Structure 1
Amino acid sequence: MRVYNINKAVGLASSGVEYAQVYRRRLFADIPWVDDYYVFTDYIGTNISYFSDRLDFPRPQVLWIYNLVTGRGAAPFALTIEAFVSMISQPHSDPQPRPGHIEVALTDSAVRYRIKTTDDRYVDRVETVVRDQLVRVDHYDASLNNVEYFHDNHLLRRDFYTPGGVIAAQQFYRGDAIARTLITPASPLHETPHRRRGRRSSSFRGDIVLEGRSQFFQFVFAHLFSRPDDLVIVDRALDVIDGIYPVIGEHRLYSVVHAEHFDLKQIDDGVLLWNNHYENVFTRPELVDGLIVSTHRQRERLEHQLAAQGLAGDLSVTCIPVGIAAPVAVESEHDPFAVVTASRLAEEKHIDVLIRAVSAARKRLPELRLDIYGEGDRGRLIAVIDELHAAEYVTLKGHHKLEGVLGAYGLYASASTSEGFGLSLLEALAEGLPIVGFDVDYGNREMVESGVNGCLVPCTLSDRDVDALADAIVHVLDSPSVTEMRRESLRKAEGYTAANVRKLWERLLREGEPC
């Protein structure tokens, strides 16, 4: 069985969706009858393997939609700065370091090349600038992958190349949106049948012409879903699912609900508003074989709401945790006053609130410190750290693999006000950390039991939240039962072992039944 896991993008500041796919890949690796692939549909300017390698996705299993069109696989960078400069035939300056790039200027010309690298050696992309206007960007992996053309700072066209250097596809844009795609005879998808499952396409001078984003997606997916046992799991449905529906045929299709599935702000008459990321799925039950959520609490609420909409019999809901845990010994040494959190540095994670809470808690626990793992908007958090003069005890640690790291801390704290699951919470449980957070669905309430393995406090979305978190941090770390709380976290983590979660996936994939 081939299982295609479809997502929009992957990056350095990856979200819980990408990490959920990472855990899923580890589970599928031990199911011998599953061949799993991870398809990314957004245009990604940097070589996709630069991001997917850091999440340990095996390159043969990473399928970027544009690489499918050109016959490329995910590949490492190969073009050195020296090699690129040697390709410039006109007289030019020596490479000059500039902030964020290396610059080469043509002699007696308005043309400059801005060479962007990822590790100071290999070329990621080269921007061609004429009289301070960006006109072209060449993107590289093992060779030239694609070229972008601009006019008046607006994207006009992208050309995508085969590994042999021939254009396999040209894509034209209007307002930064895909307007038309030409699939040339050089594309490996050109020679295979493309008039099937009701998809419309036409030919012009040997090129297959596809109008808009949706038809482009349909074309590629129709070729990808080619075996009877192919199964599709969509991790981000918005702007993707409409390219799958027309070509899914008899293949099974599941949609993963990673976040709150409805709008918490109800309209005046009380009518339920679906989260727009999932509305397309919820309202087309005849095309979807099932929904997958990560907590029992969310499954119960979603089933109740579907029933109220008359959809209970049309959409099955399966609960499969998005993460797995490998518990470690609670006796491992740790700093009892070290607090840790891990997430994207995004506004909705409210890490600024947590920084203020730790600062307030230090009035009672002067040895307290906070380490923050993750990437994103550092500037906003640095401003809070500077405001509180907290640089001595608050550290932005950046992106880091957390396995075997969290156990050295005394407490995991979260200020997020909504978690579909909370992978970092599970990682904290697996290393025996008590947890402090807000009393909100879904992950917090599923993984944290106040007084047993941590503390949940009411969320008011006001300044009172800082004091509430500070009080909870002090309460847990000062508690005579904090050691028992660490043991209780380990016990809770046992329910999320790889063996247990793998069985749920095997049942769904083999039998198609809710777990």
Structure 2
Amino acid sequence: MAIYVFSLLAGFAPNGVDYAQGYRAKILHRLSCPVRYLFAELPERRDINFYKELGIKEEDMFSMCHYLLDHHTLRPTVEVKDKLAELMKNMGHVHMDCQDSEIRLLKDGETAAVLVPVPDDREHLLCIHYFSRGQRICTETYTDRLAYTDYYAAAKPEQGVSAGRIRRAYYHKDGSVAYEQIYTGERSWYLFPDGRVLTKTGFIEEFMKKLDLSEQDIVLIDRFAQFDYVQPLFRWKQKARFIAVMHAGHYFEEGESAYTVNFNQDYNYLFKYSGMLDTIVVSTQQQREELIEKLQEYRCRIPDIRVIPAGSVEKLRYPDTNRKPCSMVSVSRIQWHKKIHWLVESAVKAHQVNREISLDIYGSGSNDYIKMMRDMTEKYEAQSYIRFMGHQDVTEVYKNYEVFLTASTFETLGLSIMEAVSSGTAVIGLDVKYGSRLLVHPGENGYLIDFEPDNVEEGKIVDDLAKKMIEIFEDQGRLEKFHEQSYRIAEGFSSRAAEEKWERLLQGTP
């Protein structure tokens, strides 16, 4: 039996789905499940490193593009020194210029080749760029050997033509061409040695044939929309079990407020293919009930629907020293729908009453949105107590703060809320479905602000958030009880409980 996970993202900003995959990867590893995590596109090293940081092992990651070769690994193991010696021998007299991120070889005063080591591993080779008369003509990319070569058309500035990739050749172990990819504008075609010419869909079907799924295999689908693999995947599913993980609700009603419409095409596809799914996994019981209702409404087949939270608590984390007094923290993607600017405005108002109040904002995302909030803090002269911390590993960060803040108008589970609660942090947020209501018990470990999707008054929300920020720090004894209750709530989301649910699902037991 093997589990195939579709799919890891290449070239996109990470989101909650990726972090949920990281939580699940640790559980599947403990269950000793053979798992293959698949990139639908060719990943770059930063994509691979991101998922490694989440806990997915590099040897378990595969790309569809590499899977049709007779060597599948994505890990670069060719040593720079060996390839450098080979090039210098073959190219004759060259001058070597070693720089921080590359080794440049010059012949007759012009760049002939540039060796690029792996950014986080200087001993191993990532790629080699070759040049002729100042223009790049091809790039070789390496894993455990030469994996593929990109060929470029020469730039013709006088005709307004820039250098561009026109062909990519993939290689087997013996150096023979496995297949080629020809680029024509925004489209590409796949040429095989036997003369076949395939579209992207045809190429993915070729990949699915090579997978040769059996009734012992399980396919986990985290993403549906805008990915070319969806139709071929269902066409060639054969007898494998298909499990779709629904990471959000994303239903909307006619006339619904723009504040709560967060529709994702993923779930349009999920409804379309519900008849071919064996199981759908959701994070909360309320989400399960609403999904059943919607499937019935649209007359779709209702498969087995399991409740397994997208995240879980490995352990409770306690502060090494006292938490910083009157400290608040926000952790999320910096996107408009997270409404972090409401938190900034509220913190400014609360600080006017309690001068000890501070807010640190962790995360990355929309540069325009970040700039808007930075401008806001400058306008209110709040830079001394509202700080933008950027993207960091926040695993050990929450425990240093007294209160976690969120103004998101929709959270399926709320992984950052769960992480905060597992660090004993009190929470102030909006009373929205689903996870906030599970993880925040008003008056016990924090406060939830009334939120009416059909009647959103930003000014009132900001005022209500500010009032709760002031109130929560007025009674230190009560705040300490909030911290204790957060730990108790977090115990109900233990990794062991999630592990048992996944084990039963994978074994096919209720």
TM-score when scaled to structure 2?
A: 0.82
Distance 1:182 1:112 in 2: 28
Which segments of 5 or more consecutive residues in structure 2 lack a partner in the other structure?
154-161
| Amino acid corresponding to residue 358 of structure 1 in structure 2 | A
Report the counterpart of residue 200 of structure 1 in structure 2.
Answer: none
Distance 1:13 1:107 in 2: 42
User: Which of 346, 355, 363 in structure 1 is aligned with 2:335?
Assistant: 346
Aligned residues of 2:444 and 2:482 also touching (Cα < 8 A): yes
Q: Secondary structure at the match of 2:21?
A: helix
Report the counterpart of residue 508 of structure 1 in structure 2.
Answer: 505
Q: How does 1:202-213 map to 2 (within 5 A)?
A: 203-204=194-195, 209=196, 211-213=198-200
| Amino acid corresponding to residue 320 of structure 1 in structure 2 | I
Q: Which moved more, 1:294-303 or 1:436-445?
A: 436-445
| Amino acid corresponding to residue 171 of structure 2 in structure 1 | Y
Q: How does 1:18-417 map to 2 (within 5 A)?
A: 18-32=18-32, 34-46=33-45, 49-70=48-69, 71-76=71-76, 78-80=78-80, 84=84, 87=87, 89=91, 95=97, 107=108, 113=114, 115=116, 118-119=119-120, 121=122, 124-125=126-127, 136-151=138-153, 152=162, 154-162=164-172, 165-177=175-187, 179-184=188-193, 203-204=194-195, 209=196, 211-238=198-225, 239=227, 240-263=229-252, 275-311=264-300, 313-328=301-316, 333-378=322-367, 380-382=369-371, 384-385=373-374, 387-389=376-378, 390-417=382-409
After superposition, the C-alpha distances for 1:410-457 in whole angstroms (9 at most, x for unaligned) are 111123222222211111111111112222222222322222222222
Distance 2:472 2:80 in 1: 53
Distance 1:501 1:314 in 2: 23
Which segments of 5 or more consecutive residues in structure 1 lack a partner in the other structure?
185-202
Aligned residues of 1:46 and 1:139 also touching (Cα < 8 A): no
After superposition, the C-alpha distances for 1:175-205 in whole angstroms (9 at most, x for unaligned) are 434x322345xxxxxxxxxxxxxxxxxx42x
- Whose helix fraction is larger, Structure 1's or Structure 2's? 2
Q: Secondary structure at the match of 2:402?
A: strand
| Amino acid corresponding to residue 314 of structure 2 in structure 1 | A
Aligned residues of 1:327 and 1:490 also touching (Cα < 8 A): no
Q: Which moved more, 1:139-148 or 1:490-499?
A: 139-148
TM-score when scaled to structure 1?
A: 0.81
After superposition, the C-alpha distances for 1:96-149 in whole angstroms (9 at most, x for unaligned) are 869x87766664658785958624836544556778876544434444433333
Aligned residues of 2:316 and 2:422 also touching (Cα < 8 A): yes
Number of aligned residue pairs: 484
| Amino acid corresponding to residue 296 of structure 2 in structure 1 | A
| Amino acid corresponding to residue 57 of structure 1 in structure 2 | I
Distance 1:226 1:317, change over 3 A: closer
Aligned residues of 2:247 and 2:283 also touching (Cα < 8 A): yes
Q: Secondary structure at the match of 1:278?
A: helix
In percent, how many aligned pairs have the same letter?
A: 24
After superposition, the C-alpha distances for 1:150-196 in whole angstroms (9 at most, x for unaligned) are 4445543322234554432322234434x322345xxxxxxxxxxxx
Aligned residues of 2:8 and 2:18 also touching (Cα < 8 A): no
After superposition, the C-alpha distances for 1:331-373 in whole angstroms (9 at most, x for unaligned) are 7631132222222333433334433433333222323333333
User: Which of 413, 428, 438 in structure 1 is aligned with 2:430?
Assistant: 438
| Amino acid corresponding to residue 3 of structure 1 in structure 2 | I
User: Which of 479, 489, 492 in structure 2 is aligned with 1:492?
Assistant: 489
How far did 1:391 drift? 4.3
| Amino acid corresponding to residue 314 of structure 1 in structure 2 | I
Q: Secondary structure at the match of 1:237?
A: coil
Distance 1:94 1:377, change over 3 A: farther
Report the counterpart of residue 469 of structure 2 in structure 1.
Answer: 473
Aligned residues of 2:118 and 2:126 also touching (Cα < 8 A): yes
Distance 1:253 1:114 in 2: 43
| Amino acid corresponding to residue 491 of structure 1 in structure 2 | R
Distance 1:310 1:107 in 2: 72
| Amino acid corresponding to residue 75 of structure 1 in structure 2 | R
After superposition, the C-alpha distances for 1:445-482 in whole angstroms (9 at most, x for unaligned) are 23222222222224537455444433333332334521
